[in-house]
Structure formats: C-alpha cells, structure tokens
Amino acid sequence: MSQVNLNLGEKNIILLGTAHVSKESCDEVSSVIHELKPDCVAIELDEQRYASLNDTEAWKNLDIIKVLRQKKGFLLLANLILSSFQKRMGNNLGVKPGDEMRAGIAAAKELGIPAEMVDRPIQTTLKRAWAKTSGSGKMKLLTLLLGSAFDKEEVSGEQIENLKNNNEMDGMMNELAGYMPTVKEVLIDERDFYLAAHIWKAVQKDERKSCVAVLGAGHLPGVQKHLEKMAQNAEDCDTENISKIPPKKIGAKIIGWAIPVVIVGLIAAGFVFGGMKKGTDLLGAWVIWNAVLAGIGALIAGGHPLTILMAAVGAPFTSLCPLVGVGMFAGIVQAFMCKPKVGDLESVQDDAGSVKGFYKNRLLRVLLVFFFSSIGSSVGTFVGGSAIVVRIGEFFKNLFVK
C-alpha cells in the first residue's frame, strides 16, 4: 500500500493509497489505523455511497420508473456498470468493492475515532462528467463503459496490487488524459481537490492534530499537492464551484431548440411551396426515420411489443422537444409491461456484468430499452433531418432552375 506522511504545521496527515479490490489493502488500512490511532479517519466515500455500503437491501427499494422520470437513466446505467466491473474484479480475489473503506470505518469505530466521508457525491461527479463532455466524447464514454461491463479478462491479485505503484498509476492516468481529457479532469483532478479540501476541513475540527485518509492510490499525488498548498494558505479550499452541475451553455440551448424549429420550418415550407405532395414527403421522411430507428432500438433491447410501438410512435414527437426523450417513455412502458421482480433487484449487480444478464434481468432490460431507443431516436433525428434538408434543397433548386 502506498503511504504518504504529511507534516503540515501542527497537523499530521497520513494518506493511505489503496487498490479498491485488494485484500492486502483492507488488512493494511486496519493495521495502520490501529497503530497510529489518529484523531480522525477520512474515507473516500460520500454519504450516499457510505449508506449503500451498509444497506445491502437498497436495490430492493429502487423505483425504476421514478429514476427515468427524473432523467437519471444514464446515471443509473453508468453506476451499475462501474459497480459490476469492480465487483467482478473483487470476486476473483475474494474481496467486495469498498472493503478497504469498510475496514477503515470499522477500525475507526473500534477505536472510537470519528470517520469523515470526504468524497464528492457520485451523482454530481457523473453529471459533471456528462455535462462537460462533447458529443463525440459522450460516445467514447459510453463505449468505454460498455466495454468494461462485458470485458471478461481475468485480473490477478498481482495486477491489482500493481495499481498502487506510482508508475502503473501514472501510465493509466496519462492514457485516460489523452483519450478523454475532460473526463479525467472531472473524475480525477476535480476530486483530488475536493478530497484534499475535505480532508483539510476534517483535521481542523475539534482541535484535531492527526488524520489518516483512505484513498484510491491514483489520488495520492494530487491530494498531497493540494494539501501542501492549503497548509501554506496558498490555495483556497472552497469546493462550491465543483459541487454544482454546470448549466448548459447558451449556444447548446439555442441549438437544442433551433434544430426542431428548422425541421418544422422546412416541412412547413414544403407544404407552402410544394403543395400537399412535397409536404407529405418531407413529413414522412421525418416520421419514418425516427419511428423506424427508435423502434429498432427498442427491439434490439428485447422490449415488449407495446414498448416497441411506444418508441416508434413517440420518437417523431420527442425528437422535436429537447426537454424529453423517447427513451424515458419507452422505458416506463417496458417497466409497466414487464415489471421487475424482487429477484431482478437482488441480482442486478451480478447480472450487469454480462450481455445475457442484461437481457435476463427485467430491471436491466428496462435500462437497455431506455438506452437503445434513445440512441435510435438520436440517429433517426440526424438521418431524418438530413433527408429533409437534401429533399427541400433539391426541390428549391429545381424550382428556381425552371
């Protein structure tokens, strides 16, 4: 386990760098805390993840329809894929994801030491990553997530332990920065600062002098740098700016509404200048492309026949409104028609690790319907819109030539 001892004035902070599915890390975390008996223990968790560690029944209370209505479908899908990936790695080593954090919390309780949750809420992190990523970046992110979900490569204990090695970790961070710089900024750089700020605040409470912080090894260099600056008053520890979801830029909002307005305008122009035949032709191109591709998406997801119909009928309309997506409606219909059972909720993390599991589990199939019908509708919007532009362009060209 990587360990950094920081003597910052009157404060002593020990950073313990762990691998998240490492049996050795669990043992060492407990051992260090018992040996040093610090005034507090800082844990790389937020309050929600801390609660979920202690609530093994949490999935049984999940309301998938509420999740879709609150537009959290992609967040839930990402959460499930990431947790499934970690769980699959841990199963090979006899360790559950988060066990090293549990070990730190357990050791603190045994010694009567306060345990502080110092990480940013996972939903805030994922929403910021999504909001700050470009369209092509979003596709890269989805591809990366799906690839990790269905990757069957075995990971050895030695490979896991190597993740605590600075050279290994630096290489991984550099690779992520090159492939997806915005995601690396949100997932690593911002959280380095957030973690450091909350560790620093934790050690300031109640005249505390020492703190042991249990963190993923990849955060150690960044957290150390920020803590040293905070101790010198060279860096503010206010995290308000990185605790908010960045609003859509005005340009993105304008484009979001401009595209539907242009599509409707072009179809209307077809009716006005080309009569019923040309107008119907343009309208048909929009409806057919949206309906067919969204319906195919729901079909690929194994949706109920009524779900497929909902996707096909709804897509031409929802594609003209940036506020809603057909995936939400298709997912809700799927949840009503094939209601997830208790067994689906209990096995959701295990099933999320395979293609077969996604189709077998009713909850995961709702998310598949949501995902694929959304993708189908997006492609349909692009193809249908392009077809309309080409056809109306040819129409006016021929009109003026004549």
* 41-51 pLDDT, tens digit each: 999 998 888 88
Q: Which range is least confidently modeled, 39-43, 66-70, 220-224, 302-306?
A: 66-70
Residue 346 binned pLDDT confidence (cut-offs 50, 70, 90) = confident
pLDDT at 386 over 50: yes
**More confident site: 364 or 72:** 364
pLDDT at 179: 60
**More confident site: 4 or 145:** 4
* Residue whose entry in the numeric block shows the structure tokens 């308000």: 240
Cβ–Cβ < 8 Å for 46, 120: yes
pLDDT at 56: 59
Neighbour count for residue 394 (Cβ, 10 Å): 10
Residue 90 CB-density burial (10 A; 0-12 exposed, 13-18 middle, 19+ buried): buried
pLDDT at 172: 47
Closest CA to 4 of 198, 190, 194, 196: 196
pLDDT at 268 over 80: yes
43 - beta bridge partners?
Answer: 117, 214
pLDDT at 159: 45
Residue 73 binned pLDDT confidence (cut-offs 50, 70, 90) = confident
Dihedrals φ, ψ of 364, to 5°?
Answer: -65, -30
Cβ–Cβ < 8 Å for 71, 7: no
pLDDT at 251 over 80: no
Residue 229 CB-density burial (10 A; 0-12 exposed, 13-18 middle, 19+ buried): middle
Residue 169 binned pLDDT confidence (cut-offs 50, 70, 90) = very low
- The residue-averaged pLDDT of 16-22 equals 74
Rank 50-59, 104-113, 149-158, 181-190 by mean pLDDT and report only the highest. Answer: 104-113
pTM: 0.77
Q: At what angle do helices 73-93 and 362-401 cross, to 10 degrees?
A: 130
